[in-house]
Structure 1
């Protein structure tokens, strides 16, 4: 308990000092609403017919009661830590969980789906929830709030004051563009495909804005070439980061931050859209893990740590599960550990999201 107090007391003080609670006692950010992929999916894929799931051991090994939740990690995700830092519940529920009450929904929800992308074709690969479908669920969510005890005014307050977090895009490049021929036939370079994806980002943000959203964060891509699975598949330099993939991520992030975010803030009345940079921190950690208290940044905790993710983490290889996931940057060959997610959340809170406190 003392570690939790020391971790989040500074943010509680900031909430008070910066007016994080309005004069009427209401929070400036009453809810965290999330769109995206496996980096922020808190269990929606448990409820759809797809193999892109993690609702089995060893996922969730270090979560509250040691049970899997559908999060692709050993514990909580960055968005869970961010919710807690805003004085909201310590976990964000998956929208498709039928056990949720209106009180659960009113403080935040995730519409995210593992293996999805901005491109609907990416979602189709694993038959998961596309961004278009996530937006449909958001419309349904708004209506559920309106028809609840919150009423029209309460629903408008939640939707209008909520913080919207987007974390998506990696699968579009890795699962779709580089692994399948269709998009490469349409877009000669990854940069051209990236421009197409940025158009989809713009359309999605505009749609949420039209539905009442005003406070938004779009999280940039991490150095996806340094994922253990991509190191393994790096034919040019086996075992090393795929620097081509990293360059693509930097290019996409640069245009998102330097062009699209300013444009949308200019054009959409009342919008406060920020760009959260996770690339630089993640890159620093995987290059020098010891400086951040990690012992391994090249393999995941599960199995060999080189290729296992999803169901492969639940097979016999997971018997090689590491003893202490806190020493690892990655839990499986793609997804970070809870400790890495915590570090990412702290960084984003300090560098970007503090403007909403």
Structure 2
């Protein structure tokens, strides 16, 4: 159980001091680097020998470039944040980035990536020049269709799973505050994605299906079945497959983080200005 939970989501977005000037189109930070797992992956797994890749239909059904390896029907959270930060294009995956693009940012996120010592090197990022870092906590995993089916007992979100996540997020938030205390020339903020994923809150925002996947998922699987039917109105669903969110749900989380509704101590918008 613990391994299944904490393999999930320690996600970091880093805006760094590597660049000295901002791009001509008025982007809010010089460059933007992304670290994480499938929630942030935008195609890095496409070239890997792994089942954890989604460069096939119906993934990307609402994305202009089609199935790119994003684990959603459309944009993921880093894509939307890139738009809010006024980048002229989405941050490219590491596997397809050119040397020129590397000066603007790279997405290193990889589906199946977990919380490992070598993938959680916040202080190493600091040494390399990161001065503005947003650390995303673990999401409300007990409310995913996968966990509802396996641990929910037919009564909605799996409380035991969510309860196991809470102390991790509490300690991670405390660590962010510790970093802010110890590194005066850098700014860290915690994004409480857990609190931003209440089924009731989603319902109040117009979502009507919070416990089932929009795409067809075969029994025992997590990802969408290839070229199988999907729900008719994707924006009313929170989950695209049994684990990952729809573009509409990603938009809610990204905008809430940018506005500071689920962040502490800084909103992403304010972090970019500091």
> What TM-score do you get using the length of structure 1 for normalisation?
0.64
Contact 1:222 1:278 in 2 (8 A): yes
- The 2-side partners of 1:345 and 1:307 are apart by 30
Q: Secondary structure at the match of 1:320?
A: coil
In the aligned structure 2, how far is the partner of 1:77 from the partner of 1:25? Answer: 22
Match of 1:298 in 2: 211
Please state if 1:107 is matched with 2:104.
Answer: yes
Is 1:272 aligned to residue 269 of structure 2?
no
> Structure 1 residues 327 and 305 mapped into 2: Cα distance closer, same or farther (>3 Å)?
farther
Contact 1:43–1:94 (Cα < 8 Å) also in 2: yes
For residues 171 and 253 of structure 2, the distance between their equivalents in structure 1, rounded to whole angstroms, comes to: 22
What is the DSSP-based 3-state SS (H/G/I as helix, E as strand, rest coil) of the residue aligned with 2:228?
helix
Q: Specify the SS of the correspondent of 1:93.
A: coil
1:314 aligns with 2:225: yes
- Over 3 Å counting, the alpha-carbon distance change for 1:71 and 1:263 in structure 2 is same
Specify which structure has the bigger relative contact order, considering alpha-carbon pairs within 8 angstroms and separated by 6 or more residues: 2
Is the CA contact (8 Å cut-off) linking 1:308 and 1:332 kept in structure 2?
no
**Which structure is higher in helix share?**
1
Structure 2: distance between partners of 1:337 and 1:213: 30
Unaligned runs of 5+ in 1: 1-20, 121-129, 132-200
**Inter-partner Cα distance in structure 2 for 1:290 and 1:275:** 25
Query: Match for residue 123 of structure 2?
Result: 206
Q: For 1:1-357, what aligned pairs fall within 5 Å after superposition?
A: 29-65=29-65, 67-97=66-96, 100-119=97-116, 131=119, 201=120, 204-234=121-151, 237-257=153-173, 259-283=174-198, 286-303=199-216, 308-310=221-223, 313-315=224-226, 319-351=228-260, 352-355=267-270, 356-357=272-273
Matched length: 245
Closer, same or farther: CA 61–25 of 1 in aligned 2, 3 Å: closer
- Shift of residue 107 of structure 1? 2.0
Q: Which has the larger radius of gyration?
A: 1
Aligned CA RMSD, in angstroms, stands at: 2.3
**Aligned position for 1:146:** none
**Cα offset, 1:287, TM superposition:** 3.0
Query: For the residues of structure 1 that align with 2:187 and 2:222, how far apart are their CA atoms?
Result: 36
2-structure distance, mates of 1:319, 1:241: 26
C-alpha separation in 2, matches of 1:338 and 1:309? 17
Any idea what the Cα deviations from partners look like across 1:234-290, whole Å, max 9, x if unmatched?
1x6235211111112221111111x2112112223512111011211212xx23543
Change (3 A) 1:112 1:25: closer
Q: 8 Å contact 1:295–1:328 — kept in the other structure?
A: yes
CA distance in 2, matches of 1:58, 1:239: 29
TM-score by length of 2: 0.82
How far, CA to CA, are the matches of 2:133 and 2:201 in structure 1?
31
Deviation per residue, 1:134-174 (Å, 9 max, x gap): xxxxxxxxxxxxxxxxxxxxxxxxxxxxxxxxxxxxxxxxx
Gaps of 5+ in 2: 1-20, 261-266
- 2:217, 2:225 within 8 Å by CA — same for their partners in 1? no
